Structure 1
Amino acid sequence: MSHVSREARKSCLRRDARTSIRKGDEVDSFFKISARNSTVGNEVIGGLTTFLAMAYIIAVNPSLLQTAGIPFDAALTATCVGAAVMTIAMGLVANRPIALASGMGINAIVAYTLCLGETAVDWRVAMAIIFLEGIVILILVLCGLRKAVMDAIPASLRHAIGIGIGLFIAFIGLKGGGIIVSDESTMLALGDLTSPTAIVSLIAILVAVALQVMNVKGALLISIVAATIAGIPLGVTALPSEWSFGLDFSTFAAPFQTVPGTDTMALVQVFLQPALLLFVFSLLMSDFFDTMGTVVAVGEQANFVDKDGNVEDIQPILTVDSVAAAAGGFFGASSITSFVESTSGAAAGARTGLSCVVVGVLFFVFAFFSPVIAMVTSAATCGALVVVGYLMLSDVVNVDWSKIEFAFPAFITILGIPMTYSITNGIGFGFISYCVIKIVQGKPGEVKPLMWVAALAFLVMFIVG
């Protein structure tokens, strides 16, 4: 009997092993992991790195939206669930390592301009504006306009967008880490390098660079974890004091909720106040071109951008991102958009949508454990962001610096993105300057029609503000 039992157990183990291999092959085939020279381990590490680099949104977005009148727990649920659903969708549909969550900047517009500014609309109406903007962008994508605009951009300008975002990411890391601070006389200055926050940031940079030099897998992820641990005795990393286990779905379907004190649906209120449609246009411009820059930047790191700056299989990426914008308004989480921090995961080895599935699952999990994520400070992620900035700057050799019509727009784009703290503004400067130079050269016919349309739209946006 004992011999039979042993044989039976061995047979079961062999069958389980074969089943596991088949499942592994299916995952590899679906996500094209081997075809893109990656491994499941690389995708998991890349996903973890991306998640930790962007996890600040779990704490920041609900706090911002709370000022707009949205209950904190509801905003937290909307933020995590929205990010999880749309990031997993990006992984399954587009199969690229681009994670999505509520966009910084747009959430501030929702809180401080739409809900607390001169417009002073109910937060449900603000979400209806976000929802409507997402629908418009989706229509533009399905019509092929968004891809056509990207195709109309000169190659040097496409590379410049990625380079500018690299500097922007490094700047965000240094600023968040207290190494660069604001100054009344010089605008920017070196921070106090002996402060606990700066010390943690320097540790993060040192670990990230050292491990990168040693070609250690997961170098950026390790740097974030190491800096977070180092921040505990220094008082930078705050240990969780309480836990939250509940979910609040009260913001879901916000555009279709009735505005308190009225009998009208929030979405209808947007059309009853035509001035609000201007916000649809301005938010559309921001979403449209921020995503364009982010996709190019991540593509450069994950090797799905060719030497001319063309992004492979861009249509599904743009489609998911456009749906995400509308979904953000529907969930009540502000506009959900592609996160430039995804470059950190790509730099850590992510090449497929499997990393997005990892990120999405983590967002679901940490909807219940947000205090753990609150431990990861901007100082802890400083090293990862600085290294990613360095890696993205290598693309500068692909800009044609010998011709001013390409070189100056590239320069002004690279300069404009970090200096104005806006990807959209930097791209706008590059587009407009390119068109102006072509007019001065007497070669306006060399500018593709959609570049003229985009440059004009940027000009209107800058004038109207």
Structure 2
Amino acid sequence: MASAQEERPEDAAGESATSASSGAGVAGGSAAPARGRGSVLDRFFKISERGSSVGREVRGGLVTFVTMAYIIVLNPLILGSFAADDPSAKTDILGGILTVPQVAAVTALVAGVMTLLFGLIANYPFGFAAGLGINTLVAVTIVPQVTWAEAMGLVVVNGVLILVLVATGFRTAVFNAVPPPLKAAIAAGIGAFICFIGLVDAGFVRRLPDAAGTTVPVGLGIDGSVASWPTAVFVFGLLLTGILVARKVRGAILIGVAAATVLSILIEPLVDAGRGGPDNATGWSLSYPSLPSDVLSLPDLSLVGDFSLGAFVRLPIITVCLLVFTLLLANFFDAMGTFTGLGKEAGLIDKNDQLPGVGKALFVEGVGAVAGGAASASSNTVFVESAAGIAEGARTGLANVVTGVLFLAAMFLTPLYQVVPIEAAAPALVVVGALMIAQVRHIDFTDFTLALPAFLTIVVMPFTYSIANGIGAGFVSYVLLRAATGKARGIHPLLWVVAAAFVLYFAVGPIQALLAS
């Protein structure tokens, strides 16, 4: 795939290879050089060098924030509780809780700081926030065994270990050892994953209850129909965004999100869909589309610095090691897979199929794990939703500066960002997923030792709702199939190590049960 740096000026008006594969020329217009090529801003972020412009970076950063902002609502619902006596409260071993307002404030704070830091140091348009999957692991698996402060201390330890692996060069070496077909599969799998996230968030795809009398795990809408107004808004946004992208309208994704948001605000007083919940399957999932009565709110940052290493005293050391190992592997490969997918989508992968400066990027990502644990927001990592901003034209860290500032502002402007319902933002994820799945063309499906690992990588991500699981399935099957067909010499030694680590990762439950018996 041609990189953005290789794009010739004469290609800008047409459909270059990069535009066709990354969506740069689709959603964000042609890759015309930025004005003011000699400006300090341009030189620092390499805006012209990457065929972008300040306008495209700002627009891309805004789109990334819009598609990521749900985390400020969702992370508190995963980690936080409204009251300790609430039946659904996430209490630790001593009955302690993190309150929803506290978690919301630190979620926005750490996301803003880490997104800014990554943009300024790594100069890539990859937004940061509390990693989904890791926060659930903390809330469901770790917290019942320790206190919240001790659980976050384990997240900090996980981050420190990641930094050590980066400093020794091990993490970068693993990143570079992944063969190109698997990197393409990771990018395509992430596309399928974020598409599935968008469909589920919008209620277009729903989990079927066991009482439904069917073995089908998911279905279309409600009883096979798009039976809710929020889902109808999603369909409107998806079709509008798809048309705009197909017509190569500049700002297509942002226009689609904005139009769907306006529609949701206009129709809610008429249809009274209400807030979604167990008793209202047709309501709005997270944010409620209404004009806010207030604009400002003061954040509660009391959780910053509230972590402890007491888990090493409270639990057997082998149990602590297994918990940290699970966190480490999920964090390590979620980020690696997302870096690969976003880098390919942005046309930033070089001719050797590597992401330039990946060492710095991985180091900052490790800092995100430490920062997230130290602030009780859970490990912060690069967000796959950044692909929406990339599709809008973002190519440099300037987009991250925009996204980061918006996250910091969100600490004070909670009523404003809650105006955008997730159903209005979800179409961006589906559209970007359609753009990213095109990476499958770089996979030789005639070679089954590549086809099966690539296929497993792509399908396991959405089916298990985990990037790390998809990468693990791909790596283990790749090593086994290549070795069993006499191609073991072509396997990078690090891939053997990683495959073995994933075998332990997949078996961590039985291992814990065996040790506890």
User: TM > 0.5 between the two?
Assistant: yes
Q: 2:235 aligns to what?
A: 202
1:308-323 equivalence runs, <5 A: 309-323=353-367
Residue matched to 2:271:
none
Answering whether residue 205 of structure 2 is matched by residue 180 of structure 1, we say: yes
Distance 1:190 1:72, change over 3 A: closer
Does residue 1:167 correspond to 2:188, yes or no?
Answer: no
Query: 2: distance between equivalents of 1:379 and 1:451?
Result: 40
The correspondence of residues 356-435 of structure 1 with structure 2, limited to 5 A, is 356-435=400-479
Aligned match of 1:16: none
Partner SS, residue 310 of structure 1: coil
Deviation readout 1:391-420 (Å, 9 max, x if unpaired): 101111101222121121111111111111
Q: Which residue among 229, 232, 254 is the counterpart of 1:221?
A: 254
The question of whether the paired residues in 2 share the 8 Å contact of 1:175 and 1:181 is answered with yes
1:214/1:450 Cα in 2 relative to 1: closer, same or farther (>3 Å)? same
In the alignment, which residue of structure 2 is the partner of 1:261?
none
Q: What does residue 342 of structure 2 align with?
A: 298
2:79 pairs with 50, 61, 65, which one? 65
Task: Quote how far apart the aligned CAs of 1:244 are.
Answer: 5.1
Q: Which amino acid aligns with 2:374?
A: F
Aligned to 1:17: none
CA contact (8 A) 1:271 1:277 kept: no
Please show how residues 339-350 of structure 1 align to structure 2 within 5 Å. 339-350=383-394
Partner of 1:82: 110
**Aligned ranges 1:8-407 → 2 under 5 Å:** 25-67=39-81, 68=90, 69-115=97-143, 117=144, 119=145, 121-183=146-208, 184=210, 185=214, 186-191=216-221, 192-235=225-268, 236=284, 237-239=288-290, 240-242=292-294, 245-255=297-307, 266-273=308-315, 274=317, 275-306=319-350, 309-407=353-451
Whether the 8 Å contact between 1:155 and 1:308 is mirrored in structure 2 is no
1:127 CA displacement: 0.7
Tell me which amino acid in the other structure corresponds to 1:189.
G
Contact persistence 1:130–1:325 (CA under 8 A): yes
**CA distance in 2: counterparts of 1:454 and 1:182, whole angstroms:** 33
Counterpart code for 2:451:
A
Identity of aligned residues (%): 42
Deviation for aligned residue 1:203: 1.0
CA-CA distance at 1:102 after TM superposition: 0.7
Runs of 4+ in 1 over 4 A off after TM superposition: 21-24, 241-244
In the TM superposition, what whole-angstrom CA distance separates every residue of 1:133-191 from its partner, at most 9, and x where no partner exists? Answer: 00000100111111111122111011000000101111111111111122352112211
Q: Secondary structure at the match of 2:300?
A: coil
Q: Does the residue aligned with 1:101 lie in a helix, a strand or coil? A: strand
Q: Which runs of 5+ in 2 are unaligned?
A: 1-34, 82-89, 91-96, 269-283, 510-517
Equivalent-residue separation in structure 2 for 1:41 and 1:24 (angstroms): 16
CA distance in 2, matches of 1:28, 1:437: 47
User: Runs of 5+ in structure 1 lacking a partner?
Assistant: 1-20, 256-265
Deviation, 1:22, is 8.4
Q: Which whole-Å CA distance do the structure 2 matches of 1:427 and 1:86 have between them?
A: 25
Residues 132 and 271 from structure 1, CA distance in 2 versus in 1: closer, same or farther, beyond 3 angstroms?
A: farther
Q: Which moved more, 1:175-184 or 1:90-99?
A: 175-184
- Separation in 2, partners of 1:71, 1:51: 24
Per the alignment, in what secondary structure is the counterpart of residue 181 of structure 1? strand
Seen in structure 2, the aligned counterparts of structure 1 residues 112 and 241 have a Cα distance that, compared at 3 Å, is farther
Aligned-residue offset at 1:100: 0.2
Aligned length: 432
- Aligned 8 A contact 2:142 2:151 in 1: yes
Look up the match of 1:449: 493
Residue identity matched to 2:49: A
Q: Is contact 1:135-1:326 (8 Å) kept?
A: yes
State the 1:438 CA deviation. Answer: 1.9
Cross-structure match for 2:24? none
Structure-2 separation of matches of 1:362 and 1:128: 28
Tell me if structure 2 keeps the 8 A contact 1:296–1:309: no
RMSD across aligned positions (CA): 1.7
- Alpha-carbon contact 1:399-1:407 (below 8 Å) kept: yes
Deviations 1:27-59 (A, max 9, x none): 111101111110000000000000000000111
Looking at CA atoms only, which structure, 1 or 2, has the larger radius of gyration? 1
**Any idea what SS the aligned residue of 1:233 has?**
helix
Normalising by structure 2, we get a TM-score of 0.81
Distance across 2 between alignment mates of 1:381 and 1:49: 9
Q: Which moved more, 1:353-362 or 1:228-237?
A: 228-237
- When normalised by structure 1's length, the TM-score is 0.89
